[in-house]
A = this chain, B = another copy of it.
Amino acid sequence: MLLDRSFEEIKVGDQEVFSKTFHESDVITFANLSGDQNLIHTCEEFASRSQFKKRIVHGMLTASLISTVFGTLLPGANTVYLSQDLRFLAPVYLEDTVKAVVEVIEKKEEKRTLTFKTQVINQHGQVVISGQAKVMKAVSLLATA
């Protein structure tokens, strides 16, 4: 799905959500893609002796779901990512289902920018990542192409 919400129709308080269950294959794919082969992600034996007791999902993979909301739902097409703050509050384990929730908290007409409260929440209702983001909704050039 790829929405294209116009800047004009977006208002403070608007929310969107994207959910995903992380499987072992996702973590292995991301470890290979990013190069982050830390054993806390890739080795059950190592992880069992760590403070987390089990393998955890890469924080940046979990955080990516926030970006997915921006890129596909709100604002969707022609979104330009300007900034993102992330606080990693709790681990995400394999087979956890998390949802990225974004909410517009500020809108600046002149620069076409939107500030969002961004959270990722697990299946127990626990906030695992919190932060804020700023994006710009670029003017579509398609109509004049």
**Residues of A that sit less than 8 Å from B by CB:** 1-2, 18, 20, 26, 29-30, 33-41, 46, 49-51, 58-61, 63-68, 71-72, 76-88, 138, 141-142, 145
- Which of A26, A66, A87 has the most B CB atoms < 10 Å from its CB? A87
Given contacts A81-B88, A145-B49, contact A64 B34 (CB under 8 A): yes
A-B contact pairs, 21 of them (CB 8 A): A2-B37, A33-B33, A34-B68, A35-B65, A36-B72, A38-B71, A38-B72, A40-B71, A40-B78, A50-B78, A51-B141, A58-B71, A59-B81, A59-B84, A60-B64, A60-B66, A64-B64, A82-B88, A83-B86, A84-B88, A86-B86
Q: A33-B61, A38-B71, A60-B67 are in contact. List 17 more A-B contacts (CB 8 A).
A: A2-B38, A18-B35, A34-B67, A38-B79, A39-B77, A49-B141, A49-B142, A50-B141, A51-B80, A58-B64, A58-B67, A58-B71, A60-B60, A82-B88, A83-B85, A84-B86, A85-B85
Nearest residue, chain B, Cβ from A132: B85
Bound CA span A46–B4, Å: 13
For the complex of A and B, the 6 pairs showing the least CB-CB separation, nearest first, are A38-B71, A36-B68, A34-B64, A36-B71, A49-B145, A60-B67
